[in-house]
Amino acid sequence: MYLYHFGLKELPFTLTPNTSYFFGLPSHKEALNVLITALKTGEGFIKVTGEVGTGKTLICRKLLNELPQHFHTAYIPNPYLSPPELRRAVASELGVELTEQADPQEFTQRIQQRLIDIHKQRKAVVLIIDEAQALPVESIEALRLITNLETESNKLLQVVLFGQPELDDKLALPELRQLKQRITFSYALRLMDADQLYQYVRHRLHVAGYTGPELFTKPLCKALFKASKGTPRIVNVLCHKVLMLAYGEGQTSLSRRYIMLAAKDTEAASSPGQTYWLAWSSLLVLCVAFVAMVYFYPRWAV
């Protein structure tokens, strides 16, 4: 690979959500502030949405790492679960054992007792669900019923939902209006702008141990922005391919050509030159049409 070629200690643009590479984009910082503030005030449901590749899972893991000690966390990364499977997953995360024939009533009793025990330890329980748009409707309703458990002054269970925009569509269904009304804090992640992308790429290279001359200059990052639309995951894919292309040709400096080749090889990306090509194509068509009009209808031109 290109590690030694560029003097890197590790691959800087992998797709694994690694919190050591957390850059702190404004959108990501705001989302974390909203989450931590809402959880500290004891809100029942909190929601964070964002397009594919905007960093929801990274924020989720960052939240798990940064929550204060008095929070007891339960994490469900793959929520495509039926109501019984969801109840068992929640029970497992909270250290509750259920019998094989456990029904909703047994689950409620055992979970409630466990939540009360944790509450007596002056701790708050937070259930974090990633990819929440995959939750079936009936499982979302089961989740709402779980959060009904509370004392006279506190919720025994707080829930954070991370999901794609499809989660909003699902919560807009009439049968889920009760849960939607309980979402007191929500945040929608934004894409990076061109300057944020430039700083983001520099940060990841620095964390990976790069100390040489600037690789991704501002003009190159503008091309990256056009190709990625500011989506962090696509930026990572393109940067990884660009470095591989440069390594394959034995080059230690990068060019726009590498970005165009990487974009052409990436289905989710747009060609950085596509806008210019469309503009010139449109202009050419207009010129040809005008010349033809003048040639065939000279009086019209006058």
- pLDDT tens per residue across span 207-254: 999 999 999 999 999 999 999 999 999 999 999 999 999 999 999 999
pTM recorded for the entire structure: 0.85
User: Within the chain, which residue ranges are assigned CATH 3.40.50.300?
Assistant: 26-188
Residue 223 is classified by DSSP as H
Judged against a pLDDT cut of 80, whether residue 279 lies above it is answered with: no
SS3 43: coil
For the segment 68-88, the average pLDDT, to the nearest whole number, is 92
Q: What is the mean pLDDT of the chain?
A: 88
For the segment 30-36, the average pLDDT, to the nearest whole number, is 95
Judged against a pLDDT cut of 90, whether residue 153 lies above it is answered with: no
For the segment 83-94, the average pLDDT, to the nearest whole number, is 92
Report the CATH number of the 26-188 domain. 3.40.50.300
Judged against a pLDDT cut of 60, whether residue 83 lies above it is answered with: yes
Greater pLDDT, 109 or 162: 162
Q: What's residue 42's pLDDT?
A: 87
Q: What's residue 147's pLDDT?
A: 86
Contacts of 29 (CB under 8 A, 6+ apart): none
The answer to whether residues 160 and 48 touch, using CB atoms and an 8 Å cutoff, is yes
Report the CATH number of the 3-18+192-271 domain. 1.10.8
Greater pLDDT, 280 or 61: 61
β-pair partners for 163: 49
User: Within the chain, which residue ranges are assigned CATH 1.10.8?
Assistant: 3-18+192-271
Strand order in the sheet with 45-49: 71-76, 124-129, 158-163, 45-49, 183-188
